[in-house]
Amino acid sequence: MKKIAFLMVVILAFGALAGCATGGSTKTLTINDIQTDPFSFTGEIVITGVNAGFFHDDPQVFFVVDTAELLACKDLACGAFQLPVIYEGGGGLPELGDEVVITGSWGTYRVQGQGGIEDVDIFEITKIEVKRNIMNLLQ
Amino acid sequence: MNRAIIKTENLEKIYGKSAVKTHALKGVDMEIPAGSLSCIIGTSGHGKSTLLHMIGGLDKPTSGSVLIDGVAISELTDSQLSELRAQKIGFVFQFFNLLQNLTALENIQAAMLFGSVPQAQQRAKALELLELVGLSDKADAKPTELSGGQQQRVSIARALANDPEILLMDEPTGNLDSESEEEVLSQIFKIHKAGKTIVIVTHNRELAEKAEMIFEIQDGKIKT
Amino acid sequence: MNTLKLVSKNLLRRKGRFIFTLLGITIGMAAFVALLSLSGSMQSEIRKQAAMLGANLIITPKNWCAYDQISILTGESLPESLQYEVLEKVASVDGVTAIPYLTQKTAIQNSPVLVTGMHPQETLEFKEWEIAEGSFFSAQDERAVVLGSSIANSFNLQVGDTLTIRGAQFPVIAILQATGGNDDIAVYLPLAVVQEIYEVGNYISFIAAKVDDLAQMESYEAAILDVANVAVTSDKQLLSTVLSMLGTVNMTLQLIAGVALIAAAFGIINTMMAAIYERRREIGILRAIGAKRGSIFRIFLLESGVYGLLGGLLGVVLGFVTSLIAAPLISGGDMSVLLKGATPQASLDATIVLTAIAFSLVISVAAGMYPAWKAAKLTPVEAISYE
């Protein structure tokens, strides 16, 4: 009987520890979370989404769309909101259709627009992690 | 004299199938009066123990019958036979055969469980029996903590748990040193004096000489 | 000495084996319980949201996909694609009370929260809200916010604090009483204000409607479709759509748990069979001292039963702990759609506990039947002769 009690204590302790451990992680935001009021999120934030395509003028700039929404409508082009992001960290740029977790903060980007040069808001990535590629899930 | 509490008629036992058969018993007739001390002796082999197992209902004969107190045990259901074993017959084996994970006291109580001694009385009665065999101080000892002789005495106490009329013993001192043998033998005589019928399979000359009846088994039959 | 005592002594004799077999069934049960608890709570969460809606009908744009519809129940923000005029058309149908919703998001302390634009007085009545602190909007376009109870709690906000939304400042004028539903996790502002700060023009996300006579539901739906180019869903349809999506996911998980349990059952059979082989002599002795076949059968069956009972109890505890850990970790893919708003809490109610233990007992006893029968079948002398 003593051994069983000991076992139970071990299990419960493990459970409690694990519970604490998972409780303290930084919140990962989805595109859906930030798209309507992006700048209310300040400082360094972590966002997850899918690479829906690159900016033709700059291979370090791409657009991220909401993962769940993409999986539901199954077409890279249907994401109503595309978040422009830039990653200047050298290698490690994601492929088309990669689901990524990006850490960074808001910045500006100089772009050649119709009316001349303008500064647009962009998400500057400091750290990028590719989770998986979902192109085959879009069939 | 006393009634024949145990009787066998043309008892036969064949082991094995087809080609390799052993004819252990080839027609054994015997009568054992109540209250007697009998010994079954003979050369080594399956015969002696087999006969004892038949008498105790632990095994079924190939043919022939065993009557305990006039009742043919081959006609009993397994359930009835088990009850008979619990209430009328006590068994003592050569290798003690105590339940290893129970204490001496609990071993005796386990036998009472099947003989339906009410739980309230079990402990008291079991202690009485332990005292009878001179081991009341070893009540909480496990078999591994007891000497061979002590284990056998507990075994005897267990056999007496449900106050049976008959005690069957298979080489009870076969595995003991001479000192322990003495202890056990004196127990057996004590019990016999109390009126129990005892049948012992044995090699021990001293014991055989003290017996009232001797049955010698040779080639599966009783030597006359 | 009674049968139960004999059984417990038998079980504890080989501590190592006892623990391992017990673990087998505990883990199987834990998986089972964890899944039941999580899925049960997700289901009840979703049902609760549906009930909280307070609406009988949901009016949405025609081209919405299932994802959007589900988002209504899970408390997501939704595209603003209905024109305001549609509200007036819907409201014009006799017996229908309709209120608009415009849902957006913002950040409070870098966490995303739902921002809902609505008509203050109408919504207050429609949803039968109670005010916990402060006072509700006094004008249709007051530039202030009212918080759901969870928002106030999570971010430690009180009446008088200021929130910044889309760069504009708003004072907190009231906090709602807890409703237990999605209303608790939103920040409320008048519709016109939300439309302005989010620059959406005169659009809304969807309309919630109540009807006077539930029996006439179909005729109301038809009437609405007549006057407006929209899609109409009843709250029940919405609920069943979501639940069926949840259902398929559940099935897979329950299958896995089922497999775990069967493995555990075989673990028991194996242990018992091995035990019988080892304990032949013991069985013979028991028979020799008068145990009936029935007693032997009972003893071994009871031993299996103890594994089941203990394993069930421990499994419930372990399963509950596991679901506590797993709940915040479930994310990604299709599941996230369902779980965004309805954060799965591990919920354990008496039904789950009792079901699990009963199930565990049944499986163990069933697993123990064959070995127990084999043990009882041994003849005494067979058993004793075994050296």
Express each pLDDT in C207-227 by its tens digit: 888 888 878 888 888 888 888
Residue C303 DSSP SS3 = helix
For the stretch C139-142, contacts whose Cβ atoms lie closer than 8 Å and that sit 24 or more positions apart, written own/partner, are C139/C190, C140/C190, C140/C192, C141/C190, C141/C192, C141/C193, C142/C173, C142/C190, C142/C193
d(CA B180, CA C161): 93
**Chain A meets chain B (3+ C-beta pairs below 8 A):** no
d(CA A29, CA A60): 22
Structure tokens at B83: 């009850």
Mean pLDDT over residues B104-109, rounded?
90
* C-beta atoms of C332 and A67 within 8 A: yes
Residue A78 reports pLDDT greater than 70:
yes
For residue C173, the model assigns a pLDDT of 94
CB contact C168 to A (< 8 Å)? no
Mean pLDDT over residues B40-59, rounded?
81
Binning chain B into helix, strand and coil, the percentages to the nearest 5 are 40, 25, 35
Mean pLDDT over residues A126-136, rounded?
89
* C-beta atoms of A32 and C324 within 8 A: no
d(CA B66, CA C376): 24
Residue C101 reports pLDDT greater than 70:
yes
Residue B140 reports pLDDT greater than 50:
yes
- On whether the CB atoms of residues C226 and C104 are closer than 8 A, the answer is no
For residue C178, the model assigns a pLDDT of 86
Residue A46 reports pLDDT greater than 90:
yes
**Chain B meets chain C (3+ C-beta pairs below 8 A):** yes
* C-beta atoms of C66 and A72 within 8 A: yes
CB contact C6 to B (< 8 Å)? yes
Task: Quote the DSSP letter at residue B115.
Answer: T
* C-beta atoms of C290 and B102 within 8 A: no
Q: Which residues of C touch A34 (CB under 8 A)?
A: 105, 107, 112
Residue C276 reports pLDDT greater than 80:
no
Task: Tell me which of C4, C13, C285 to substitute to probe the interface with B (most B C-beta atoms closer than 10 Å).
Answer: C285
Give the distance, in angstroms, between the CA of residue B68 and the centroid of all CA atoms in the same chain: 14
For residue C333, the model assigns a pLDDT of 34
Structure tokens at A40: 């209310």
Task: Quote the DSSP letter at residue C61.
Answer: -
Residue A9 reports pLDDT greater than 70:
no
Mean pLDDT over residues A37-63, rounded?
91
Nearest-neighbour CA in chain C from A36: distance (Å)? 6
- C-alpha distances in Å from residue B169, one per residue of B22, B38, B174, B197, C281: 23, 10, 11, 11, 17
Confidence band (pLDDT; 50, 70, 90) for C73? low
For residue B1, the model assigns a pLDDT of 52
Q: Of B51-55, C270-274, C316-320, C379-383, where does mean pLDDT reach its minimum?
A: C379-383
For chain A, which chains pass the contact test of at least 3 CB pairs under 8 Å? C
* C-beta atoms of C332 and A73 within 8 A: no
Among the partner-chain residues A15, A41, A131, the one whose CB lies closest to the CB of C110 is A41
For residue C321, the model assigns a pLDDT of 81
Mean pLDDT over residues A10-35, rounded?
62
Confidence band (pLDDT; 50, 70, 90) for C363? confident
For residue B41, the model assigns a pLDDT of 86
For residue C277, give the H/E element and its range.
Answer: helix C235-278
Nearest alpha carbon to residue A36 among C123, C145, C205: C205
ipTM (interface pTM): 0.82
* C-beta atoms of B53 and C10 within 8 A: no
Q: Exposure pattern of A68-101 as b/e (b: 16+ CB <10 Å)?
A: bbbbbbeebeebebbbebbbeeeeebbeebbbbe
Mean pLDDT over residues C138-145, rounded?
92
Residue B187 reports pLDDT greater than 50:
yes
- On whether the CB atoms of residues C192 and C178 are closer than 8 A, the answer is no
For residue A67, the model assigns a pLDDT of 87
Could you read off the pLDDT of C169-206 as tens digits, one per residue? 999 999 999 887 778 889 999 999 999 999 998 999 88
Mean pLDDT over residues C27-51, rounded?
73
For residue C337, the model assigns a pLDDT of 42
For residue C158, the model assigns a pLDDT of 92
Mean pLDDT over residues A23-49, rounded?
84
- The residue written with tokens 């700060």 in the block is C197
Could you read off the pLDDT of C125-137 as tens digits, one per residue? 888 899 999 999 9
Give the distance, in angstroms, between the CA of residue C342 and the centroid of all CA atoms in the same chain: 8
For residue C169, the model assigns a pLDDT of 94
Residue C326 reports pLDDT greater than 80:
no
Residue C93 reports pLDDT greater than 80:
yes
Residue B107 reports pLDDT greater than 70:
yes
Mean pLDDT over residues A104-120, rounded?
87
Residue C385 reports pLDDT greater than 70:
no
pTM across the whole model: 0.58
Better pLDDT: A55 or B176: A55
Mean pLDDT over residues C2-6, rounded?
80
d(CA A58, CA A42): 26
Better pLDDT: B174 or A85: A85
Residue B43 reports pLDDT greater than 90:
no
CB contact C273 to B (< 8 Å)? no
- Selected residues 9-28 of chain C with any CB under 8 Å from a CB in chain B: 9-10, 12-13
Residue B70 reports pLDDT greater than 70:
yes
CB-based burial label for A47 (10 Å; 0-12, 13-18, 19+): buried
Better pLDDT: A78 or B133: B133
Gyration radius of chain B's alpha carbons? 17
* C-beta atoms of C334 and A71 within 8 A: yes
d(CA C293, CA C65): 66
CB contact B93 to C (< 8 Å)? yes
Q: What are residue A84's DSSP bridge partners?
A: A63
Better pLDDT: B82 or B16: B82
For residue A124, the model assigns a pLDDT of 94
Q: Of B129-133, C114-118, C264-268, where does mean pLDDT reach its minimum?
A: C264-268
Better pLDDT: B53 or A1: B53
Residue A19 reports pLDDT greater than 60:
no
